[in-house]
Every structure is written in structure tokens, then in C-alpha cells.
Structure 1
Amino acid sequence: MARILLVTQEKGGVGKSLISRALAEAVPEAPVIEVDASRRLVELEGRAIFFPMRADRAAIEKSGGRAARAEFDGLIAAMTQASLPTIVDVGANTSASLLALLADLAPDLKEAAVEIGIIVIATAEAGALAEAPRLMQIAKPFASARFLIENRVRGEVDGKALGKIADGAALTMLAEHVMEEQAVALYQAGGLASIPRLDAGKLNERHGLALGSRIRRDLTRFRLEAMEAVKPAAEWLVG
């Protein structure tokens, strides 16, 4: 039975790609599927399969809705054909419609020996807080495992609110990180996968020993804490 782990949140800017990258680091043998308007996980190169979303509005109107019905067909086919634990990074404005489809397809997915897990990301931003419990409830009837990650990039979420959103799901937290601007630029250019390959000598030569050391420590801590936040989900994914 193939296990598929979806990283979801209807709102953009909550850290879905970061969580997907952390999972990719924690489970290096897992293929990654990216569902978004444009590629983001470019550093994963051939390891990541990209499905563009959403269906073009003109095509939807022209086809009387058929384009909208079929927009996930390629993704569903990839999920049912998976032979390894697989990570799916679901872009903004796509999670709810995909989960609703998976709920409808639950008997067929079970017959195809596909097991679904879901990560929902919550932040203190009002829109993300509103969407998180909705996604959790949509997935509850069919997801074998549910995980809630609080990303404190916009501050802490009230603990009682988090407990209600989690509704029995495993809950972890990713602290807000203050990093040197040069560290942020390196992460944006190469993702988490590039951090273990940093050359300390070159960093020190370019930025000086003190700043070079801070950049390296910032990025190393950032990567490890992101991987710690996804640890329960990664453990489920590998079974």
C-alpha cells in the first residue's frame, strides 16, 4: 500500500513549500509532487513532478465545466501509481477542492491500495486560521493520519484554538526564525537541500568569519527545526 502525504492550506504564504522541503529532507527516498500555479521546489529537480493548477477559466466556461472536473486527473493517476511513500505539496486555493475530491474517491483509493495522510498548516493570520479546521474536517473521514503544524511566522496561535483545530491530530510547532539577510537569500536560492553542502571556508571568505558563522548557524538551525516539526508526519509516511 502506497502512503501519500499531502501538505495543505488554502491560504498562501503559510510555509507549505518549507514544510514540503523539510519532509523531502527527512524522507530522502520519497518522490515529491508539486501542485501549484508555478514551480517552487526547483532545487529538487527530477525528484519533483509538477502539475500546474488551476484549470484555465476560459477552458472551464468553454467546456461547460469539464475542464474543472478533469483538472486533478493527472495528479490522481500519479498518486495511484506511486510505489514509494510520496509527498504532495498542494498550492494555495487548491487544497479544499482536492480534499473534497479525495473524499468522493475514498472507496476507489482504498481499492487501489492508496493510503492518504494530511498535514494542515496553521498560522496566526485570520484566513489561515479559518481554513485550517475546514481542511481538517474535510479530510477526517478518509485520511489515515492527520497532522497540524503551527507555523509561528506571524506569531503564536492560541493553544485552545489549536487544540480545537487539531481535533485529535498530532500537533507540532515551527518557531519564527530571525536570520541574517544573506542566510535568507541562500535558502531562497537553494532550499533546505543546499544547507548541508554549505562551504564554511567560502562563506567566511566572502562575509568574514563572524557573519559567515552566523549565516551557517542560522541555516543549520532552521533546517533542523523544520525537520523536527515534520518528524511525526515523516514517521507515518515511511510506516
Structure 2
Amino acid sequence: MSRILFSCQEKGGVGKTTLVRALAEAVEGAPIIEIDASHRLLELENRVSFFQMRADREAIERTGGRAARAEFDAVLDELSSATLPTIVDVGANTSVSLFTMLADVAPELAAEFAVCVVVTNEPGAMVETPKLLALSKSWTSARFVIENRLHGPIDPFWLHANVNGATLTSLDAQVLEDGAEDYLQSGGLAIVDRLNPKKLREVHGIGPAIRIQRDLAKFRLEAMRAVRPAAEWLVG
């Protein structure tokens, strides 16, 4: 039975896709299903099967979820055919509809499921996190929460009260040298091993080039540590 891990958060801008990239680094060769309005995991090339979500939240609510269910049919086919540990990147405003549907059909799929919810200290993300954990409880065998301290830490009492038995890890805010973010935007975490030190020094100078390379390597390592429990579950 294949294992499938959903990375999710209804609120955008929490660093979820960065952590999907860390999962992709941690579980080499794992297929990735990307469900979003636009294709973002371009650097992972043929590892990614992209499914575009066209129905907006208003359409989903107006049709009682029917607009989303029709779009999820192709996703269900992809999930049912998975034979390897698979990562699913669920875009913002999509998880609730997807998880509601999966609660009905998951028993029919020959797979074992887990969710990894990414949360920041922003109110929107904090509101959605316990909802997603509750929605997925009946059809998952493992649940993970990653506290992304992008904007600062979350109150530990809130975390204790709301992770609802999930495995909790954290990712500290990262301070990157000027120019480092550009490499992440163009090539994701996969670019770290492909950076050419000589070319970096030609472009940025010796000092900044060394700091860029070190900062990116540290960022990748810290992100992979944050996803480690989820990655270990995925590979069994």
C-alpha cells in the first residue's frame, strides 16, 4: 500500500511550498502532485503532476462544493494510481474542499494517508490549522504540524491546545544574504547543490558569495529537519 502525504494550509503565504520542496529533497525521487491555481514547482520538472484549480472559493461555496469536486476527479485518479511514496502540495483555499471529499472516498483508495499542516503566527493560519487537523482525522494514519516562525514564534500554549495530537516541529525564521532569495525563487532548494562557487564570486564578490552559499545550505538543512518526521513516515 502506497503512502501519500498532503502538505496543506488554507491561508497562503505561510511557506508551505518551500517545505514541500524540503520534502522533495528529503525523499529523493518521490512523485509530487501539485494542486493549485498556478504551477510553481517548476524546478522539479517531471517529478510533478500539476492539476490546476480553476474554481474560486465563491464558486465552491455557491455550488455546495460541486465546482471543486469535478476538478478533483483527475486528482483522485492520480492518487489511486500511486505506487510510490507521494507528496501532495495542496494550494491555498483548496484543502477544506479536498479533505471533505477525501473523508468520503479515502476508504476506497488503496493508500495510507497523512497530512502536514504548516502554520505561522498569522491569525488566518492559526484559525485554519485546527480545522484542517479535524477534517483529516478520520482518514489519516498520521498528522504533522510545522510551526513556521517566518513572522515570529507562535504562543506555545496555543500550539499545545491546537495541534490535536499531531507531531509538531518548527522552522526558525531564516536571515539570508542579499541575493540569496533570488536563487531560491529561480531554482528552489534543489538549486543549492548546483550553485557554482566560482560564478557566485564573479557575480557577487568573495564575501557575499560565501555567505549566500552558506545561508542557502543552512536554510535547506533547517527546512529538511522541520519535515523530517513527515518524510520518515512517508518512506515507512
TM interval, short-chain normalised? over 0.9
Partner amino acid, structure 1, of 2:34: E
**What TM-score do the two structures reach when normalised by structure 1?**
0.93
**Divergent runs of 4+, >2 A:** 54-61, 63-69
1:64–1:200: structure 2 CA closer, same or farther, 3 Å change rule?
A: closer
Aligned pair partner of 2:230 in 230, 233, 236: 233
User: 1:16: how far off?
Assistant: 1.1
Alignment of 1:1-239 (within 5 A): 1-55=1-55, 67-109=67-109, 113-239=110-236
Render the CA deviation track for 1:73-120: whole Å, top value 9, x for unaligned. Answer: 1111101100000000000000111111111113212xxx21111000
Partner amino acid, structure 1, of 2:99: L
User: 1:133: how far off?
Assistant: 0.5
**What TM-score do the two structures reach when normalised by structure 2?**
0.95
**Secondary structure class of the residue paired with 1:118:** strand
**Secondary structure class of the residue paired with 1:227:** helix
Q: Structure 1, unaligned stretches of length 5 or more?
A: none
1:158–1:39: structure 2 CA closer, same or farther, 3 Å change rule?
A: same
Partner amino acid, structure 2, of 1:104: D
Counterparts of 1:90 and 1:180 in 2: how far apart (Å)? Answer: 30
Counterparts of 2:214 and 2:179 in 1: how far apart (Å)? Answer: 12
Once superposed, what is the RMSD of the aligned Cα atoms?
Answer: 1.9
**Secondary structure class of the residue paired with 1:181:** coil
Q: Structure 2, unaligned stretches of length 5 or more?
A: none
**Identical amino acids, percent of aligned pairs:** 58
**Secondary structure class of the residue paired with 2:179:** helix
User: 1:55: how far off?
Assistant: 2.8
User: 1:125: how far off?
Assistant: 0.2
1:142–1:64: structure 2 CA closer, same or farther, 3 Å change rule?
A: closer
Contact 1:54 1:94 in 2 (8 A): no
Aligned residue pair count: 235
